[in-house]
């Protein structure tokens, strides 16, 4: 299933040229045109899934395995000290293209790239328990 209006479907299926690092029957990994770091890549499924919640389990499992393989190859080739795997779902989370994708971002010690957490106020123990209970009742 592909979406003929989706730019990532077109890239993943070779209709739009890209700098491809890896390709198999289900995925294409390309260099990001607006990279956060040298070697920043996007893992794109060839089938269209708007977000994580639309992925079938088999594709989800394979996506993390391909991301792991790419991170290892890129670590060796680029001398990365670490990696961020970033996957956004929905506009509120920063998703700008509504085709599931994973950012594979090589990192170097001391680079100037920031991914900030901890700006939200620390919840009380009671709030933590209420959040946990709310989530567990929906499982």
pLDDT tens digits for range 32-91 = 999 999 999 999 999 999 999 999 999 999 999 999 999 999 999 999 999 999 999 999
- Parallel, antiparallel, or unpaired: how do β-strands 102-107 and 82-86 relate? antiparallel
Contact predicate 103/87, CB 8 Å:
yes
40 exposed, middle or buried (CB, 10 Å; 0-12, 13-18, 19+)? buried
The pLDDT confidence band at residue 113, using thresholds 50, 70 and 90, is confident
Q: State residue 4's pLDDT score.
A: 87
Q: Give the percent of the chain with pLDDT over 70.
A: 97
Q: State residue 118's pLDDT score.
A: 66
Q: What is the pTM of this model?
A: 0.88
Q: How many CB atoms lie within 10 A of CB 30?
A: 21
Angle value at C-alpha 26, between 107 and 80, nearest 5 degrees: 10
The pLDDT confidence band at residue 121, using thresholds 50, 70 and 90, is confident
Q: State residue 115's pLDDT score.
A: 74
101 is an active site residue: yes
The pLDDT confidence band at residue 117, using thresholds 50, 70 and 90, is low
């Amino acid at each position: 299933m592909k979406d003929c209006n989706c730019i990532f479907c077109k890239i993943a299926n070779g209709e739009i040229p890209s700098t491809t690092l890896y390709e198999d029957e289900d995925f294409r990994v390309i260099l990001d045109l607006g990279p956060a770091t040298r070697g920043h890549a996007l893992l794109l499924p060839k089938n269209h899934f708007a977000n994580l919640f639309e992925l079938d389990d088999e594709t989800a499992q394979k996506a993390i395995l391909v991301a792991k393989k790419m991170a290892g190859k890129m670590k060796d080739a680029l001398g990365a000290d670490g990696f961020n795997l970033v996957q956004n779902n929905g506009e509120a989370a920063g998703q700008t293209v509504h085709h599931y994708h994973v950012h594979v971002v090589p990192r170097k010690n001391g680079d100037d790239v920031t991914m900030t957490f901890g700006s939200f106020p620390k919840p009380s123990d009671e709030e933590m328990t209420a959040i946990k209970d709310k989530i567990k009742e929906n499982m």
